[in-house]
């Protein structure tokens, strides 16, 4: 069983967060997968951004503001 760092992007409203997780690579049909703690971390970031609490979300991930481009 190997582990590989991976950056997962979470989108919520006008925010995007890049969350660092570890993918677990095994020799079974469910591979790759993430740990339960990383899944909770993604959920925490999404819920925090949903409440527009960027300060707390930035403690867990890199947070960006998305802006539409006028062409």
pLDDT tens per residue across span 3-35: 999 999 999 999 999 999 999 998 888 889 999
Mapped onto helix, strand or coil, the DSSP state of residue 49 is helix
Q: Which domain holds residue 51?
A: 2-65
- pTM value is 0.86
- 30 within domain boundaries: yes
Tokens 């930035």: give the residue: 58
- What total number of domains does the chain contain? 1
The predicted structure's pLDDT at residue 56: 96
Pairing of the two strands 15-25 and 33-34: antiparallel
Q: What CA–CA distance (Å, rounded) separates 61 from 46?
A: 10
- 70 within domain boundaries: no
- 19 within domain boundaries: yes
Would the pLDDT of 58 be above 90? yes
């Amino acid at each position: 069983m190997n582990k590989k760092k991976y950056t997962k992007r979470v989108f919520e409203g006008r925010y995007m967060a890049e969350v660092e997780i570890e993918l677990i690579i095994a020799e079974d049909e469910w591979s790759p997968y993430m740990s339960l703690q990383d899944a909770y971390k993604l959920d925490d970031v999404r819920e925090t951004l949903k409440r527009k609490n960027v300060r707390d979300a930035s403690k867990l991930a890199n947070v960006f503001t998305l802006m539409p481009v006028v062409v």
